[in-house]
Amino acid sequence: MPSSSDVIDAGPAARRARVAAPGALRVGRVRDLLRGTVPVRVVAWVAVAALVGVPLVAVLSLAIASGQIGILASEDVAVAAWHSAVSSVLGAAGAVVLGGALAIVLERTDVPGRAALRLLACSPLLMPPFVGAIAWIGVAGPMSPVNRWWTETFGGPLWSIYGGDGVVFLLVVHGYPVAMLIVGAALRRLPADLEQAARIAGASTLRAFAAVVVPLLRPALLSSATLLAVSNLADFGIPSIVGLPERFTTLSTLVYRYLQSATVDDPLGAVATIGSVLLAVALAGLVADALIGRRRVELDAGASAPARTPLGAWRLPIAAGSWIVVAALTVLPIVALATQSLVPAAGVPLTWETVTLDNLVRAVTSEHALAGMRTSIMLAVLAAVVCTVLGLVVGALVTRTRSRDNRALHAAAIVPQAIPGLVIAVAWLVIAPRIGLFDTPWIILVAYVTAFLGLVVQAVHAPLSATSTTAEEAARVAGASPLRALVDVSWRMATPAAIAGGVLVLLTAARELTLSALLLSPGAQTLGVAIFNLQQAGDYNAASALSLVVALVGLAGLGLAARTPQERS
Amino acid sequence: MRSTTTTLLAAGLGVALLAGCTSADAEPAASGAAEEQTITVYTSEPQEKIDEIVAAFEAANPGITVEVFRAGTGDLTARIAAEQQSGEVQADVLLAADAATFEGYAADDLLLELDTADVDALDPAVVDPESFYVGTRIIPTVIAYNTSLVEEPPTSWEQLTEAEYANQIVMPNPDVSGAAAYNAAVWLDEPQLGDAWLEALAANEPVIADSNGPVSQAVATGTQPIGIVVDYLVRDLAAAGSPVAVSYPEEGVPFVSQPAGIFASTDAPEASQAFVDFLVSVEGQELAVEQAYLPVRGDVGTPEGAPSMDEIAILAPELDTILATQDEAVSRFNALFQ
């Protein structure tokens, strides 16, 4: 695609470059870029090595030292690996289709109530998956009101959430907001001129969209699909709550089985071995992704802001459809949570006589919940800041510069997504005493960065891998050093996406459970652990109340955060 | 390129290790003052209950501070194993899980021999003959039922195999719940029940929930009106107003005893022993009864709504037999309940 930067009034360096042979220019540029950005690259590699490499090496060495490679040949592991792979891929595909469609509706059409719809659509992010899964059992469990009525009327349940299909469904529900945010960020970066050109050439709106916009979105769709497929592998809450009742074991639930089993002499070794299998599955996925994603579409930074397509006669049906889908996926579990929060105990019907605010009052006044909120907010903010900065550096390097180690750096940053929190926690637990962080909140922060760095890297990767490097080239031509071009052009361009990724980290870390459950120091709490503890104690109503408070506060925060950039644009 | 990567990885590790050396030096020496002691307890007790226990213990033992790390049994096992990997176990007392876990730690010489005060007053079934651990509550697995949906509750395990209970039962997963794994072995070992009974139960297609918490919840909400679950959760729910009640099956109930033990690596053995003593003392057991647990001693009554201890038939087979057959029992269970 021709670049508009050609017209920039170039300095002497550019004039010299223009007369040089094209091949020489290319080699020279690569060398320059490498030379100028090498210090940044070294810093990025050291950070990724310390935060990702160290725990992964710990997992691998525990696995090798335990000599339990034998368990990999067992049928259990093979079945679980198959279940993991299938549910991850299907869950990711479904989430990308749903999230992508919603992003398009929200970014490119004039459906009414977009701001509220976007906010509501984000709400599954704010609910810990284990809480969401329990809320959904109330909606679609075998004995839920709907299924009971259906059974009485038609002699069999309509659809039970238990089993593999339920796992995929919930992975879609909890994954689509991530795809929606990533694809939405990419859509905002797509220039409108191509679409306009297609329209001028006589294509219908739909045709222009299908032939121009969708292909250009491919990298963002692939980036979010990869991220989700990899992180679905690690999910524990969903398969353990709706998968196990139908014996749908995945590798991450199998980890717990090995921890519980009295026959496994070396539980750590077994856990690490399964962790290594997941690592291998994730790497295989990334290789496949790299092969599929090799064909690239590159385009220039947009000259004109994308326009919204008036839907005309379709406006109401599309609006109604989007609202119904989003409301069904988000309002039902929130209503289930709210109902549970307002009754004194499970099984008590909600009436004016039974309704109580005790659970909500306890949720916001109990010492453990408050301590958990303080710790979680501090850790989530710090993790979001560290991940945003490091993710920006890594994401910009791997998309905006050319280097043979880009793929390795990119892969290293996102593979920990595939490893269950328990395994990452075990790795850091083994390392913690050696770096003096045992029983401090900092070890949780470090583990959060290991686990969530990929969210930001992938959020940056999605929009920037589809944009050609002409802007950087222009900067170089104008005499900027490679480092200057990286900082002034690439990082600036990547900052909005990095911040969007940072928000994802903030939301995920604020209600994180499996890492902090293992890494907390005695007496300390995080929000996720406080909710889980209430639930384990059988006090589901207080657990629901606390989750509801988290979800509502998070939604309010998101609403405020979403306002600012929208008004600016 | 690969060599650069490896070098960088090694450098990162080096930096991490260096940081470790410096901060290890800066760490303050463990406080040795005899009066002011801190012990760390790892437990799977519900948070609210362990908070009450610690408050009562600290009031009775001024000078001893108790730090609590609460997590599920699987997480505790993982944390203890990771601590062993990198040094020694950081907990002084473990109050969790089932006897099998403690037998394993005792075999690895990780536990201190207990000298529990007043041990003769305790139910001998919960006292380890080698004194490495002592049970602190009787936690039987019983039949729970939803009182608004079930008029005549089943009174025996045998009854659960009747056709009317098809698709009505929910029970915990032995892969997730240690108590459920133990139960599977006890049922299979019990001549009255055994494999034929388990097979008949499987024919009723019970829902396998992951642990006892979700089981009690499912019974309370009526998702499945009958549950096979530990008794105290049901009493807790009933106390909060849920329409649930407990039926103790006449063949007898398998139970776990939430044992307590002290890690050999402790630097506060007396304070730790004081904590274990407190758990099984009259005061500690009265608190347990208040918390809806069946006690391990006969002189403190039973929780409201529970029969007295001598009215409850208990299945307490030889622990060694159960431990030897538990894994086989779990795989039999898994094969039947596919």
The predicted-structure confidence for B258-288, as pLDDT tens digits, reads as follows 999 999 999 999 999 999 999 999 999 999 9
Q: Does A4 reside within a domain?
A: no
pLDDT score at B321: 86
Give the HSE-up count for residue A82: Cα atoms under 13 Å, Cβ half-sphere.
7
Task: List B residues 104-123 in contact with A (Cβ-Cβ < 8 A).
Answer: 104
Nearest CA in chain B to A247: B338
Query: A69 touching B, CB under 8 A?
Result: no
Residue A530 lies in a domain: yes
Show which of residues 2-31 on chain B sit within 8 Å of chain A, judged by CB atoms: 4-5, 8-9, 11-13, 15-17, 19-20, 22-24, 26-27
The whole-angstrom separation of Cα A509 and Cα A456 is 13
Closest chain A C-alpha to B163 CA, distance in angstroms: 17
Judgement on whether residues A479 and A365 belong to the same structural domain of the protein: yes
Q: Say if B243 is an interface residue toward chain A (CB within 8 Å).
A: yes
* Residue B69: count of CB within 10 angstroms of its CB: 22
Could you list the residue range(s) of the whole structural domain that residue A219 is in?
Answer: 93-249+309-339
State residue A393's pLDDT score: 93
Look at residue B82 and give its three-state secondary structure.
helix
Instruction: Identify whether residues A200 and A243 lie together within a single domain.
Output: yes
A56 interfacial to chain B (CB closer than 8 Å): no
Which pLDDT does position B2 carry in this prediction? Answer: 42
CA distance B142 to B228: 6
Same domain, A491 and A554: yes
CA B279 to chain centroid, in Å, comes to 14
**Surface of A (436-475) touching B: CB under 8 A:** 436-439
DSSP string of A414-429, one letter each residue: HGGGGS-HHHHHHHHH
Nearest chain B CA: its distance from A530 CA (Å) = 9
One domain, residues A196 and A292? no
Instruction: Give the whole-angstrom CA distance, residue A167 versus residue A172.
Output: 9
CATH code for the domain of A476 = 1.10.3720.10
**Higher pLDDT, residue B18 or B299:** B299
- A-chain CB neighbours of B77 within 8 Å are 259-260, 267
* Contact assessment for residue A53 and residue A412, using Cβ atoms and an 8 Å cutoff: yes
- Residues A270, A159 share a domain: no
| Average pLDDT value over all residues in chain B | 86
3-state secondary structure of A479: coil
**Structural domains of chain B sorted by starting position, each given as residue range(s) with its CATH number in brackets:** 13-138+257-306 (3.40.190.10), 139-255+318-337 (3.40.190.10)
User: Quick one: pLDDT band at residue B156, thresholds 50, 70, 90?
Assistant: very high
Residue A568, pLDDT score:
37
Same domain, A289 and A389: yes
B83 contacts chain A (CB < 8 A): yes
Chain B nearest CA to A434, separation (Å): 5
Position A322 in a domain: yes
Instruction: Give the SS3 label for residue B255.
Output: strand
Q: Tell me how far apart the alpha carbons of residues A304 and A306 are, in angstroms, rounded to a whole number.
A: 6
- The answer on A371 and A326 residing in a single domain is no
Please give the pLDDT value at position A487. 83
Q: How many domains does chain A have?
A: 2
Structure ipTM: 0.78
A149 inside domain:
yes
What is the residue-level pLDDT of chain A in tens, covering all 569 positions?
344 333 333 344 444 444 444 444 555 555 555 557 788 889 999 999 999 999 999 999 988 888 777 777 788 888 999 999 999 999 999 999 999 999 989 988 888 888 889 888 988 888 878 778 878 877 887 767 778 788 788 877 788 888 899 999 999 999 999 899 888 888 887 777 777 888 888 888 778 888 888 888 888 888 889 889 988 988 888 898 888 777 788 988 888 777 766 556 677 888 888 888 888 888 888 887 777 665 555 555 555 566 677 777 788 888 899 999 999 888 888 888 888 889 888 878 888 888 888 888 888 888 888 999 999 999 999 999 999 999 999 999 988 888 888 889 999 998 888 888 888 998 998 899 888 888 889 999 999 999 999 999 988 888 787 777 788 888 888 888 888 888 888 888 888 889 888 988 998 898 888 888 889 888 888 988 888 888 777 778 888 888 888 888 877 877 776 654 443 33
Say yes or no for a CB contact (<8 Å) between B86 and A434: yes
Return the SS3 of B260.
Answer: strand
* Pair A369, A238 in one domain: no
Nearest CB to A435; choose among B16, B67, B175:
B16
Same domain, A66 and A102: no
Identify whether residues A108 and A237 lie together within a single domain: yes
Of B22, B68, B241, the CB nearest to A348: B241
* pLDDT at site A333: 83
**Region B149-159 average pLDDT:** 94
CA distance A115 to A180: 14
Which residues on neighbouring strands pair with residue B208, listed in sequence order? B171
Q: What span, in angstroms and rounded, lies between the C-alpha atoms of B143 and B215?
A: 11
CB contact (8 A) between residue B74 and residue A260: yes
In a domain, A34, yes or no: no
Please name the residues in contact with B132: beta carbons below 8 A apart, sequence gap of 6 or more: B102, B105, B106, B111, B112, B113, B114, B261
In a domain, A259, yes or no: no
Q: 10 Å Cβ neighbour count for B210?
A: 24
Distance (Å, whole) CA B185 – CA B174: 10
pLDDT at A300: 55
pTM: 0.82
Q: Do A65 and A165 reside in the same domain of the chain?
A: no
pLDDT at B5 exceeding the cut of 60: no
Establish if B167 touches chain A: CB-CB under 8 angstroms: yes
Tell me, yes or no, whether A360 and A335 share the same domain: no
In contact, A387 and A449? CB cutoff 8 Å:
yes
Q: Does residue A513 form part of some domain?
A: yes
In a domain, A36, yes or no: no
Does residue B33 register a pLDDT over 60? no
